[in-house]
Structure 1
């Protein structure tokens, strides 16, 4: 046979071999994994630490790389790649998928040992076996070799190595170096140290036998074998290898992370295509806060849950998200996320009405409001505190969370306008029946802790509301204006005047402790208690209650939610920097009852107060109650009357006898008459009618209560009950009665009051008829 024939024969064999491989490749194609669906979902904190993981559809824990489905070489420490290639396949980049020398060496070792000692597999062959599992037999090995050739034919070396990085077994249901690094070491594979890289390089050889959480000694011995190989080939320095050997194998048990379970569930639902979701959560804050909340809720009742959010006001990132008191506690409905649940906000919306009313020119910080029984409207709320306060400043009404002054304010501002304003900044309210009413400001709507925290954060952001962000990588956030910087600052400063719960001094002097601007809220029936606090750096929101809506035991935001709020602030590293006052905030001396500045009010200035104003604007005092009307009307405090020039008595032009003159007097709103010092009352300032005026106008401001004297003391014995009948002396039979600011269920001129031992202390009884006449007696039970 000539050389030419030999060359042709060899060429024919190569062609036949190639065609055979081509046909075999077409008949038995590689089974490649899906690029996305075969990965678990990992939710991590801002530093890459796992918060919670969700297995794939087959229950396998396999994590993707940073911001992509497949783990790439760039996602893995170079130390791991060096350890892997040195130990498993030093000639990976030079062979064609199979290393004949390794195969023959393994064959000799197996014959000498009388059993399978080594498989002689390259990394490519190991990937082939992962994709196409087979028995450890000669036919199985031949199939593995064929699949290795297929891989080398279709993929680059980098792509084959990345398949190994993603699908190599690491014990149990863990696959891929990223999952192994997170599960065993609580860190991404990019951050592996020398000892950790060597450990993970050897695990796939025998994942169950070397599993480090169960067999740390075996795992350490195997790791050192890798380190010795790296020393032999001078891949790492002797110093690095000796330091790595000194480290004992110590890994986390394979308990699934459950640091922020409800936020993680939410992120998985909102980003279904992402497999690695890095949040803004700070684990070193989230963990202790969640532990404390779990303990705190135990003391509130076995079915009480709680939720807390912490937001950075500068970045608008959520730093802590505790959606329930205990995720695994069924009685507390721990699986219900109370951060997003719609609940009644109680009084927590009042600061925004306060600020918006400043912007609308309705009030300044010291505007005179009225805390008295409401007469002319069907909506007649009371206060949580006992009694009525009469004249109060807007600032005081907000700090004390008085209900009636804020109903007066929302009637002047407009309930639907208020709802629309909050909706405009992306924080809509859920309206019962779809229609707004004054009850909105007292919690007659639905909102969530998340929305409230976003709104309160605006107080530290010049009145701008930003969407809260949960992802470390996010677009630039766009804000919407809720109120002016001046209104936001005045509201913030006013809320700083709310006293902290007893015992919360942070161990600091008053000058050093953080001044938190905070507000509480309690919904009707004590179903929800709230506390929201703001400093220039942070906003914290707290909710407690029963997720099923059942009432709590007479719980108040101040006494239940307040301590939890201040404890949360104690966990924060607050810089104590003050909130800078805008140049549009101007301090003015203002006058009551007029409401305007001293220079504008002139003689109508019974009381002077120092107020914060926006641009120096000082509006008149609002009229207390407008009946069926809506909108702002202002009280005119200077009243002209006609008097007899000789006697000083009041006259009318129709009945005057002798010379008369005009007299100007200062009057307070009529509704405040019985709460004013005697010298400010109309009865002290407006003279009686002259005897020449036979037809006297009907006065409607006096009403006597019979059956009880003002200042009377009642003595009551244990288990005793005293029943007292009282009657209002009024020509109008429609009388509303209030005991300690709470309406009694009666509209008659007479009523009965039952005194019990539980009523020890001072009490206030008020009767108001349909014409606005008020009667009041105060008594004591002892």
Structure 2
């Protein structure tokens, strides 16, 4: 008869054994280091794959996600590899007995006893295949079962399972062999993915197709015997062609790589703000534009949703196969040309120094030792600030910058977190060159500024992850200009001349009103176009990655058409067209002259006083401008010849003083002007 004391001793002994086992398990836990090291995967905002980076030794170990893994595949994997997976505690006693009996009868084990949990333990801590290792795997399997759920163990197996070469995990294998995530797999794909981990190198379909085909057939037979696949379906699956390994899918290579590198250790994925559909459409557009502009040209595109500063698309280059294609040019410091002019006028409006209809002189002007010219070397006399910005006139922009101060201008931009890179030898006068691209800025910082214009003058950092976007939407930001001034500038930019083949935004019924500005740097190195439309800010850049000069490609010609194409792809919400308000035009454009009226003299205008650097044959000279055809210029009765290089008529006054100019067309009709030339004394 069992006494109470004997029962008590037995119970105490049982508890003691359990305590010892628990202590040993706690003291010698499974090594989970390999499970914690997985390839960081960057996803778009909907969860679509963008890019991943390998782990140590260049291995692709992508964390499995059972929610995004074909459930039929999971069911069949368990049926083939470990039918009692959900019933055992890591070790399957029946499988052990079967394997032992097989070994006694055949002299070797013809059926395996390793459960999925034991295989997972072996993948966590690889050891030589022998009896001692098998016993350790059994202990480790029990420890895993005590620590993890069945789904966690299955996910761990599907993360670490080898699939040949440097592929680990079902996601890496599915992407490399089939070109898609394992969310939906064919019967043949499932069978191959079940077969490969048992002998990954010997069964690689890209290197040993016959062995892979035989292994797939064996798994299909097991599926049929397990009643998870019909004979007919197995025959169809056997006929599926074997895959060859391909490259991992990559989208938004630069942005996704940056996010993957910055991902915290152990974080399996990063949900970015990138829209994969939009990115897929923009990358070939950038490549096509770059190819059309020359073999050394590349391009970059940024699309930012203004409300939360989410970067929806980032094309860092026109392709990694092009020169400099590995460089993310949205981070490169480049000259913006005239693309910062809107902020000069915005700050002037904000300070009360100007109003949109304030008249500014557009004439040859020297600012200390800095003398800017308009891009076309033509001056327009008196213009309004609205006209000066809409037509990107240089002298009024420099005059306005002088009014508000270049240092104050730079400080206000930098208060928004924008970095301007100015020449080391800059002096006070050269600071005015900020108006015309005299300081470098990245396209990303330009996106910050233009998004601020579209957000009532409030600047915020760009957001590259969904978490950052949520934060940006809540944050207050930095106000760089009042909302009224920002709105005035956007209104002017909407009236800028549209690119060829595009109707002005005010005439596009029901279409989005594009507010845009272009820029061209010295030597045509950089062509920039920036726009705000329908709640988005867009930056487009084209040029050479090495910053080299290229012939005659302006922001208007090389970047602006792409900006409008990007806006079309975004499908920005329509904005009702505004009525076109009549504006005072520059003096030379006040009325449309008919050809029968004869030539019209544009520069120098009648009565003008022109300040020049120097006089005489070696002087830089003035570029003459007039409307009409077959024109001949005369100064004091003497004809002026065209410059043999540029084809323009350049006048180099012999001395300061008053001159009578005349321009005559082929029919003898003439226009004249009396001008005064002033030059530095001494």
Q: TM-score range by the shorter chain?
A: 0.7 to 0.9
Q: Against the structure 1 CA distance between its residues 8 and 324, is the aligned structure 2 distance closer, same or farther, given a 3 Å change threshold?
A: same
1:743-754 equivalence runs, <5 A:
none
Q: Residue 534 of structure 1 corresponds to which residue in structure 2?
A: 532
1:98–1:356 CA distance, 2 compared to 1 (3 A) = same
Counterpart in the other structure of 2:33: 33
Shift of 1:521: 0.7
Of 25-34 and 345-354, deviating more is: 25-34
1:229/1:375 CA distance change after superposition, 3 Å: same
Equivalent of residue 429 in structure 1, options 414, 420, 427: 420
After TM superposition, give the deviation of residue 225 of structure 1 in Å: 4.9
Q: Which whole-Å CA distance do the structure 2 matches of 1:352 and 1:755 have between them?
A: 38
Deviation (angstroms), 1:118? 2.2
- Aligned residue in 2 for 1:58: 57
Name the CA distance, whole Å, in 2 between partners of 1:62 and 1:8. 51
Q: Which residue of 1 aligns with 2:317?
A: 324
- Select the residue among 97, 109, 115 that pairs with 1:122: 115
Q: CA deviation at 1:372?
A: 0.6
Superimposed CA distance per residue, residues 386-430 of structure 1 (whole angstroms, 9 cap, x where no aligned partner): 321111222221122111111111111221121111112222322
Q: Does the residue aligned with 2:346 lie in a helix, a strand or coil?
A: helix
1:301 aligns with 2:294: yes
Which region of structure 1 is more displaced relative to structure 2, 16-25 or 308-317? 16-25
Deviates more, 1:41-50 or 1:252-261: 252-261
Q: Which residue of 2 aligns with 1:265?
A: 257
Aligned position for 2:352: 361
Superposition map of 1:459-478 within 5 A: 459-474=453-468, 475-477=470-472, 478=475
Tell me, yes or no, if structure 1 residue 371 matches structure 2 residue 362: yes
Return closer, same or farther for 1:272/1:336 CA change in 2, 3 Å cut-off: farther
CA contact (8 A) 2:79 2:223 kept: no
| Unaligned residue ranges in structure 2 (runs of 5+) | 592-601, 626-638, 667-682
Query: Aligned equivalents of 1:243 and 1:780: distance in 2?
Result: 90
Q: 1:193 to 1:775 in 2, by over 3 A?
A: farther
Once residues 121 and 288 of structure 1 are traced to their aligned partners in structure 2, the CA distance between those partners, rounded to angstroms, is 48
2: CA distance between counterparts of 1:512 and 1:11? Answer: 83
Pairing 1:210-609 to 2, within 5 Å after superposition: 221=217, 224-225=220-221, 228=224, 231=227, 253-273=245-265, 274-329=267-322, 332-375=323-366, 377-433=368-424, 437-474=431-468, 475-477=470-472, 478=475, 479-504=477-502, 510-511=508-509, 514-578=512-576
| Local SS of the residue matching 1:306 | strand
Which 10-residue stretch deviates more, 97-106 or 175-184?
175-184
After superposition, the C-alpha distances for 1:366-391 in whole angstroms (9 at most, x for unaligned) are 32111111146321011111321111
Mapped partners of 1:315, 1:703: distance in 2 = 49
SS at match of 1:289: helix
Q: Is the 8 A contact 2:35 2:160 kept in 1?
A: no
1:424-470 residue CA offsets vs partner (Å, 9 max, x unmatched): 22223223237662111111111111111221123332222232211
Paired residues of 1:324 and 1:336 also in contact (CA < 8 A)? yes
Find the aligned partners of 2:536 and 2:246 in 1 and give their Cα distance: 35
TM-superposed CA distance for 1:93, in Å, is: 3.8
Partners of 1:776 and 1:264 in 2: CA distance:
65
1:144 and 2:137 matched: yes
**How does 1:619-658 map onto structure 2 within 5 Å?**
none
In 2, the alpha carbon distance for the partners of 1:768 and 1:382 equals 21
Cα distance change on mapping 1:575 and 1:135 into 2, 3 Å:
same
Distance in 2 of aligned mates of 1:455 and 1:776: 47
The alpha-carbon distance between structure 1 residues 406 and 24, as it changes in their structure 2 partners (threshold 3 A), is closer
* 8 Å contact from structure 2 (residues 387, 585) kept in 1: no
Separation (CA, whole Å) in 1 of partners of 2:644 and 2:81: 85
Aligned to 1:613: none
Change (3 A) 1:18 1:551: same
For 1:500 and 1:588, how far apart are their aligned partners in 2? 17
**Structure 2: how far apart are the matches of 1:409 and 1:488?**
16
Task: Note closer, same or farther for the CA distance 1:13–1:229 as it changes in structure 2 (3 Å cut).
Answer: farther
- Whether the 8 Å CA contact 1:40–1:63 is kept in 2: the answer is yes
Tell me the CA shift for residue 534 of structure 1.
Answer: 2.1
Q: 1:56 to 1:90 in 2, by over 3 A?
A: same
What whole-Å deviation, never above 9, does each CA across 1:217-239 have from its counterpart, x for those lacking one?
Answer: 6686467557546645xxx9x9x
Change in Cα spacing, 1:26 to 1:513, as seen in structure 2 (3 Å) is closer
TM superposition shift of 1:348: 0.4
**Residue in 1 aligned with 2:661?**
777
* Matched position secondary structure for 1:305: strand
How far is the alpha carbon of 1:78 from its aligned partner? 5.1
Aligned to 1:163: 156
- Give deviations 1:112-163, integer Å, cap 9, x for gaps: 6676532121122212222343454545544433443454466665554443
Distance across 1 between alignment mates of 2:610 and 2:396:
23
Compared CA separation, residues 114 and 514, structure 1 to 2 (3 A): farther
Shift of 1:45: 2.1
In 2, Cα distance between equivalents of 1:205 and 1:401: 68
Q: Distance in 1 between matches of 2:342 and 2:213?
A: 62
In the aligned structure 2, how far is the partner of 1:438 from the partner of 1:309? Answer: 28
Classify the secondary structure of the residue corresponding to 2:407: helix
1:739/1:322 CA distance change after superposition, 3 Å: same
SS state of the match for residue 540, structure 1? strand
In structure 2, C-alpha distance between the alignment counterparts of 1:362 and 1:703, rounded to whole Å: 25
Counterpart of 1:106 in structure 2 is 99
Secondary structure of residue in 1 paired with 2:467 = coil
Comparing 9-18 and 81-90, the one that deviates more: 9-18
| 1:86/1:229 contact within 8 Å kept | no
TM-score (norm 1): 0.68
Take 1:93 and 1:465, find their aligned partners in 2: how far apart are those partners?
55
CA pair 588-292 structure 1, distance change in 2 beyond 3 A: closer
After superposition, the Cα gap between the structure-2 partners of 1:414 and 1:756, relative to the gap in structure 1 and judged at 3 Å, is: closer
Aligned-partner Cα distance in 2 for 1:25–1:548: 59
8 Å Cα contact 1:527/1:551 also seen in 2: yes
For 1:385 and 1:25, the matched residues in 2 are separated by: 81
Partner of 1:652: none
* Structure with higher helix content: 2
- Distance, in Å, in 2 between the alignment partners of 1:404 and 1:217 is 75
1:268-289 Cα offsets, whole Å, 9 max, x none, are 3433534412212222222332
Preserved CA contact (<8 Å) 2:224 2:234: no
Q: SS in structure 2 opposite 1:396?
A: helix
